[in-house]
Structure 1
């Protein structure tokens, strides 16, 4: 029988050298081994407790800050340090975005072997009450005789016992306890694993995932909660296609982009950018960088509901949006029609697969905008006939994949990285949203 040594949890004192990409302090043991310490900031001396050990690095948590950084602030949320929803509330906001910018630049240099000609000023908006879409985990804990509703803890095996959340829109963030009490009173409380929320300009929807059929009393309780708090309640008994309104009538969910006189309708589980104010600033920045002219044709890859596509259509001859989710494509087409934008075409395509035989791939384009998922856009970039595309704007939610794709565009396809910068779509988290401009 293999013997596994127990972790020595003896506290140790150390100096923090740097901040990791996930918001933890970086220190080194006397033997040079790296240790990542949650709750610690660069320049601090802390007393830390080991929490995990591996061959390449160790992990620990801060027990006491012995010498604090001048950049340390008092976290606003009482759950900070336990809840894993955000990890940077103890760092001053201007330093948060500075750290994210450093992550981007280091990734570009290390992975892509490139550097931007210009580092763009960080794009920021409101830092509290911004999150209009998200998913709460739900867990009934019989030992505590209560139901927990919240984000995962920093230890993702557990659900944080939240009373409030200051990064979520207040209509939801200040009612987490009420949600927990609601679920705790349901007969199906042990069979509800998650509740998703999403907010448009005029309505907020809750989608309750349930693994067993709901009895009439549970449905009545959910309906009463929705009426009391102004939420539209949807049920999800199986997959995404099973989502339906509790009372049989679905409210209109949409948000406007006033600068382009565009309204985007969406469904309860659709992807939308979580930070409404930052989203508008991001669209404006992307369109300004792309500099598309009235006579040009633009390709928008990973277009979703048309978040960039429809504003682009206001100023160009034609824009083609391509997206892998057929449902999103159908709603993007409906959004184009609703906004009277006949010069916006949409196609459904798996952009990780070979698309060279598709009609949209063979069409010529002057400019390219892309906003891929975390995995990036390497597969589709290798297929695209880029010769006629003079300018590319790349919006990224993962600096590593952006750096990889930037290296490809610069070193193999003849582009130069004109500029790059970060956008604070998720303040107080370690998530890095970036934007980059490439020109031939």
Structure 2
């Protein structure tokens, strides 16, 4: 018989963490403060992976999940925890990572930023599987720890109009001749148009094309087809649909994008994130500011709107071109320029060659920005203020350690942005400063 354990914390996958005789137990479905029993499904020398078996003492923040597929679908991991308690847990994850990995502590913990807990997801990659034995198609997220597609008919974290399309999409896939060669439907929503990108591994027949056109008209969506990698995606129907874009009203900016290009999953929280980032960065007219991992120009253009001169660096030539186009579209070209740069391979010499920046914004992928952090040698007159936006608290903490202990910055503030409610994903922001020369 397994002895009950007390859950100490949450890990970065949203699992409860306990210790038994020196071994770490990661328990799905368990929350901090709870007394639970568990069933292990993977055992190693130093840790076990498990599922909660019985909750003997529930946590104060435990709630009934809103989605009936929670626990089966792998799209969410924290629906059983009150939304505000989720954010508090994420804040602890951030602080723990900064303390244990970076050996740093922020002078100020920023108030956590909240938004809508449901219907927030404007980007999604839905898996498709045609089950020949049942002559039916499944459309949704993968089941937990499985390659199978969850048998889901609704999704609470996507807008209701898209959730309502899951069953019609099943019927659509069933009706296509390529139903066994259509593994994915990517959802990309803008302010004025909803786009579905079909990953078609074989060409459509004329009947397939007619079926898609009828579906698009009935449900008021636009189809793209993607026969190969993301760059092969093209508009299929209707050709005259509004452009795909999102707006930043506070900065009077319209940002067109292609449906396979990276944009934030949660557009309303993106606006809040931008407001906080620019308040921390405080760009002033005439300042020279670097935006590293600039993407489409999501931060570059608002910074330029404040009157600063911005140089955006990005590893993708396509995104560099798109950022320049977006800058021109918003009449900001005189204060922006963009350069294709592999920011994972830069060094001190490269940074020195760019000239002096007054301030810097860094928004890297999960891998973080170690090369950037190590290139900011304190003897090179680097930017005196850095705002670091992170989607991975572990790499943020690692890079913060370099900025503080090696390069002489102070970690002035840090906090979380609840960009992905009901998931363990931690979006955070940190402010670094050093004495001006």
TM-score of the aligned structures, taking structure 2 as reference length: 0.94
Give the secondary-structure state (helix, strand or coil) at the position aligned to 2:145.
Answer: coil
Counterpart position of 1:145: 135
Once the two structures are TM-superposed, the CA of residue 160 in structure 1 deviates from its matched residue by: 1.2
CA distance in 1, matches of 2:315, 2:352: 14
Counterpart in the other structure of 1:391: 385
Runs of 4+ in 1 over 4 A off after TM superposition: 10-13, 355-361
What corresponds to 1:294 in structure 2? 285
Partner of 2:419 in structure 1? 425
SS in 2 for 1:112: coil
Once the two structures are TM-superposed, the CA of residue 159 in structure 1 deviates from its matched residue by 1.5
- Aligned with 2:87 (options 93, 97, 103): 97
Deviations 1:202-228 (A, max 9, x none): 001110001112212222212211111
The counterpart of 1:209, out of the listed 194, 199, 205, is: 199
Displacement of 1:15 after TM fit? 3.3
d(CA) in 2 for partners of 1:355, 1:292: 25
Matched, 1:414 2:408: yes
Moved more, 53-62 or 390-399: 53-62
Decide whether aligned partners of structure 1 residues 359 and 407 sit closer, same or farther in structure 2, where only a CA change above 3 A counts. Answer: closer
Instruction: Say if 2:340 is the partner of 1:348.
Output: yes
Which SS does the other structure have where 1:52 is aligned? strand
Alignment counterpart, residue 375 of structure 1, candidates 367, 385, 399: 367
Aligned to 1:72: 62
Secondary structure of the equivalent of 2:169?
helix
Report whether the alignment pairs 1:35 with 2:35: no
TM superposition shift of 1:411? 0.5
Contact 1:298 1:316 survives alignment (8 Å): no
**Higher mean displacement: 173-182 or 203-212:** 173-182
Q: 1:353 to 1:148 in 2, by over 3 A?
A: same
Cα displacement (A) at 1:34: 2.0
Contact 1:17/1:27 (<8 A) preserved: yes
Secondary structure in 1 aligned to 2:381? Answer: helix
Q: Does the 8 A contact of 2:154 with 2:166 survive in 1?
A: yes
Q: Which residue of 1 aligns with 2:224?
A: 234
Aligned to 1:267: 258
The answer for unaligned runs of 5 or more in structure 1 is 1-9
Q: Does 1:193 align with 2:187?
A: no
Structure 1 window deviating more from structure 2 (67-76 vs 12-21): it is: 12-21
Note the alpha carbon deviations across 1:322-368, whole angstroms, 9 max, x for none.
11111111111111111111211111111112377769952321000
User: Residue 109 of structure 1 corresponds to which residue in structure 2?
Assistant: 99
Out of 354-363 and 38-47, give the one that drifted further.
Answer: 354-363
Cα contact 1:297–1:316 (8 A) shared by 2: no
Question: Alpha carbon RMSD of aligned pairs, Å?
Answer: 1.8
TM-score by length of 1: 0.93
In the alignment, the residues of structure 1 paired with residue 240 and residue 312 of structure 2 have an alpha-carbon distance, to the nearest angstrom, of 27
- Which of 324, 328, 334 matches 1:337? 328
Task: For 2:107 and 2:274, locate their aligned partners in 1 and report how far apart those are by CA, in whole Å.
Answer: 22
What CA deviation, in whole Å up to 9, does each residue of 1:289-314 have, x standing for no partner?
A: 01121121110000111111000001
Distance 1:320 1:156 in 2: 43
Aligned to 1:364: 356
